[in-house]
Amino acid sequence: MTTIIGVEYANRCIVLGDSRVVGDSKIYSHPDMVKVVTNGNFIIGAAGDVRALQVILHTWKPPVAIAKDKENLFQFMIAKVVPSLKQQLTEYGLLESKSADKEFELYVLIAFNGNIFEIDSDFAVSRSESGYYGIGTGGDYALGALYAGATPEQAASIAALNDSKTAEPFIVETQYKK
């Protein structure tokens, strides 16, 4: 799958992703095949089914937050961002086309206004009190490294050493709190 790391700091957050895409036992690496992008006021990092990632990262237009939305960002993610995301995936036929023998896998980190939100395959929204996030096959390695004091870049390197589906170069996007 991949490794996507998110870290919240007092004045900013970062989302970091690796550059290896693995599908049907083939390994791909190309500058076009990124897993972390800045999209308007959002940073989006995704792991899971490659086609779903491509749709989310390259075609989805996240909703615009109004002043009221900024009062409760968690609610904004639940009430507006996730339904928009699901609608985009549905329009591309990605939610209905999964067969019973293959479970839909999607893990997304979304940063907005310097805050990170984790969205799982069931579209539940979660937050981490520690400010550390790790998704994808190397996510647990990265989280362990972060908790042990590693920087996000060091954590990504540790994940790459232990997960064959994670590789450099790492793409890092930063967003400041407003």
φ, ψ (nearest 5 deg) of residue 172: -120, 130
Q: Cβ distance 172 to 37 under 8 Å?
A: no
Residue 26 has pLDDT above 90, yes or no: no
Buried/exposed code over 1-17 (b: 16+ C-beta within 10 A; e: otherwise): bbbbbbbbeeeebbbbb
Residue 100: the pLDDT is 53
Q: State residue 102's pLDDT score.
A: 65
Distance CA 42, CA 39 (A): 5
- What is the domain partition of the chain in residue ranges? 4-176
Return the exposure string of 103-116: e unless at least 16 CB atoms fall within 10 Å of the residue's CB, then b. Answer: eeebbbbbbbbbbb
SS3 state of residue 116: strand
Q: Please state, rounded to an integer, the average pLDDT across all residues of the chain.
A: 93
Tokens at 48, concatenated: 């899971």
Give the pLDDT band of residue 171 (cuts 50, 70, 90). very high
Domain 4-176: CATH superfamily, name plus number: Aminohydrolase, N-terminal nucleophile (Ntn) domain (3.60.20.10)
pLDDT digits (tens, 9 = 90+) for 39-48: 999 999 999 9
Give me the amino acid identity at 121.
S
With a cut of 80, say whether residue 130 has pLDDT above it. yes
CA distance 45 to 94: 18
Model confidence pLDDT, tens digit, residues 31-75:
888 899 999 999 999 999 989 999 999 999 999 999 999 999 999
pLDDT digits (tens, 9 = 90+) for 116-128: 999 999 999 999 9
| Alpha-carbon separation of residue 99 from 47, 48, 93, 134, 156 (angstroms) | 19, 16, 12, 27, 33
Q: At residue 103, what is the residue type?
A: E
Determine the pLDDT at residue 23.
Answer: 76
Q: 26 by DSSP, 3-state: which?
A: strand
